[in-house]
């Protein structure tokens, strides 16, 4: 069925990406912050168009894309992330570049790629959507072409990203040779009915696909691009990279593992559990040694990816009800993490615009020069650590509770212990802000209204989700239900 009306949100994003380039060509002297606020308004229109599909019956487009509540959930996340990134970019780009239209066009294109990854129900379609997101990010990371650090980060990201894409594509080709199809439902049926003598090929396909997807979400040992990319990218793109790429990667992982791979969990669940454990331990231990704020957030986000892989592993050990609960809990935690991360970067960027220093000592005395920003960063870091009242506590509690199966108690134990470890390096940041005097000559400064409003709203969102997670959990549960509706993901397992 070819119902092109299913993709109105993507039309808005793609149309605006083209229009913004034309606008700057016609009015080259138009202020860059005006372009930012214009694209932020487009993102709100994109969000409204996405929410119009909420609660509708799932509809497929030619068997390769589907629009359901799961797709709508990630469309809304994509629009929200692009909206905040535009606000963060308004003053940042105005002071650093003459051209900005391509930047905002690529943001919208990356957001559209994220939406299509969530909607994909066919392997090659998912791969193309992933590459749409990836190529946009490669350019955005190196957007300041005269900045050597930005160029180096982009080059490393491109080279490693190309290698990961090759592994993913090779895994897809093995899976196609094994099953004779690339649609998720057909792959699941073929895996359920195959003979036992093809297990080696199946394991090889799963390993390559998990490796390719592991790179996109920066799971260990496929994480090496993340610290350099986070440090070298423009600060708003660091925020975008740490949220959008994670959301898009887990959207694809959830759709793939609950639809295509659910009939053969014994072949992949052990690998996901091992990768989760390595990611949790490595991310949190290496973060302790960091002195740069953005590198610390990079390793912190690697640890967060490890936590998010725990419920993915649980998908292979439980029945449909357990898988549903694990998926809903993962969506809840992912959203809470995105809100907290954007809050942290909203405040950090305001301080960075003032000092130009992205090291942790560069934040010293921030509680005196701008106490509001120090409070926002503190609340965000407490949320990452999973302290009560803040988003991270409630969302981790739901996620670990849903994943606490007998086979995975060791992994949940590692995750809980690592959460305590993470509090140490977060406190090191707070120590600089609250226990040290500001540098000599530093004085109080004001924050631009857009950054102040973004930081305040996201900080309140972090507290609200922690204190009253029920509305967000209901939304996440509704999105997860779309993956487990009759005909979407029948959880029969291949007989051995």
List, in sequence order, every residue forming a beta bridge with 67; answer none if it has no partner. Answer: 59
> Which tens digits make up the pLDDT trace of 206-215?
999 999 999 9
> Which tens digits make up the pLDDT trace of 105-152?
999 999 999 999 999 999 999 999 999 999 999 999 998 888 888 889
- Determine the pLDDT at residue 68: 92
Which residue range(s) make up the domain with 381? 4-483
Kindly state whether residue 117 falls inside one of the protein's structural domains. yes
Cβ count near 160 (within 10 Å): 18
In the numeric block, the tokens 């309140």 are attached to 460
- Structurally, the chain folds into a number of domains equal to 1
Kindly state whether residue 345 falls inside one of the protein's structural domains. yes
Kindly state whether residue 489 falls inside one of the protein's structural domains. no
> Which tens digits make up the pLDDT trace of 86-101?
999 988 887 777 778 8
Kindly state whether residue 491 falls inside one of the protein's structural domains. no
> Alpha-carbon distance 114 to 393, whole Å?
27
- Determine the pLDDT at residue 434: 93
> Which tens digits make up the pLDDT trace of 308-319?
999 999 998 877
Rounded to the nearest integer, the mean pLDDT of the chain is 90
Instruction: Inform me whether the pLDDT recorded for 488 exceeds 60.
Output: no
Kindly state whether residue 178 falls inside one of the protein's structural domains. yes
Instruction: Inform me whether the pLDDT recorded for 12 exceeds 90.
Output: yes
Give the long-range contacts of residues 10-14, CB within 8 A, separation 24 or more: 10/112, 10/115, 10/116, 12/42, 12/45, 12/46, 12/49, 13/42, 13/46, 13/82, 13/108, 13/109, 13/111, 13/112, 13/115, 14/108, 14/109, 14/112
pTM of the full predicted structure?
0.94
Kindly state whether residue 494 falls inside one of the protein's structural domains. no
> Which tens digits make up the pLDDT trace of 273-306?
999 999 999 999 999 999 999 999 999 999 999 9
Kindly state whether residue 282 falls inside one of the protein's structural domains. yes
Kindly state whether residue 493 falls inside one of the protein's structural domains. no
């Amino acid at each position: 069925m070819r119902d092109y009306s299913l993709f109105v949100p993507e039309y808005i994003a793609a149309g605006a990406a083209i229009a913004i380039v034309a606008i700057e060509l016609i009015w080259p002297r138009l202020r860059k912050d005006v372009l930012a606020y214009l694209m932020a308004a487009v993102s709100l229109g994109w969000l409204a168009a996405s929410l119009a599909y909420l609660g509708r019956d799932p509809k497929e487009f030619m068997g390769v894309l589907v629009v359901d509540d799961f797709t709508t959930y990630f469309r809304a996340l994509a629009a929200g992330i692009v909206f905040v990134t535009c606000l963060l970019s308004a003053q940042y780009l105005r002071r650093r570049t003459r051209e900005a239209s391509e930047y905002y066009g690529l943001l919208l294109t990356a957001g559209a790629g994220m939406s299509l990854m969530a909607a994909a129900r066919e392997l090659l379609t998912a791969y193309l959507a992933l590459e749409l997101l990836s190529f946009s990010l490669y350019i955005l990371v190196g957007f300041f072409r005269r900045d050597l650090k930005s160029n180096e980060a982009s080059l490393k990201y491109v080279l490693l990203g190309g290698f990961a894409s090759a592994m993913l594509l090779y895994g897809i080709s093995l899976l196609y040779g094994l099953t004779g199809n690339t649609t998720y439902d057909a792959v699941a049926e073929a895996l359920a009915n195959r003979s036992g003598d093809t297990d080696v090929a199946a394991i090889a396909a799963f390993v390559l696909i998990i490796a390719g997807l592991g790179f996109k979400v920066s799971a260990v040992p496929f994480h090496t691009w993340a610290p350099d990319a986070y440090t070298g990218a423009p600060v708003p793109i660091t925020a975008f990279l740490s949220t959008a790429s994670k959301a898009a990667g887990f959207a694809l992982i959830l759709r793939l593992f609950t639809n295509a791979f659910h009939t053969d969990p014994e072949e992949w669940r052990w690998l996901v559990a091992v990768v989760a454990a390595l990611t949790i331990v490595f991310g949190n231990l290496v973060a302790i040694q960091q002195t740069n704020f953005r590198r610390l957030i990079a390793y912190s986000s690697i640890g967060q990816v490890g936590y998010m892989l725990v419920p993915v592993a649980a998908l292979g050990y439980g029945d449909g009800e357990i898988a549903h609960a694990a998926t809903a809990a993962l969506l809840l935690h992912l959203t809470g993490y995105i809100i907290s991360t954007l809050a942290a970067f909203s405040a950090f960027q305001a301080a960075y615009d003032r000092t130009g220093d992205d090291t942790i000592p560069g934040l010293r005395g921030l509680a005196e020069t701008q106490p509001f920003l120090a409070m926002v960063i503190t609340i965000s870091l407490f949320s990452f650590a999973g302290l009560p009242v803040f988003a991270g506590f409630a969302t981790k509690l739901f996620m670990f509770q849903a994943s606490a199966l007998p086979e995975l108690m060791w992994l949940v134990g590692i995750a809980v212990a690592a959460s305590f470890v993470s509090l140490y390096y977060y406190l090191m940041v707070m120590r600089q802000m609250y226990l040290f005097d500001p540098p000599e000559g530093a004085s109080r400064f004001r924050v631009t209204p857009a950054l102040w409003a973004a930081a305040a709203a996201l900080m309140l969102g972090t507290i609200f989700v922690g204190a009253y997670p029920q509305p967000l959990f209901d939304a996440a549960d509704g999105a997860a239900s779309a993956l487990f509706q009759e005909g979407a993901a029948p959880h029969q397992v291949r007989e051995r």
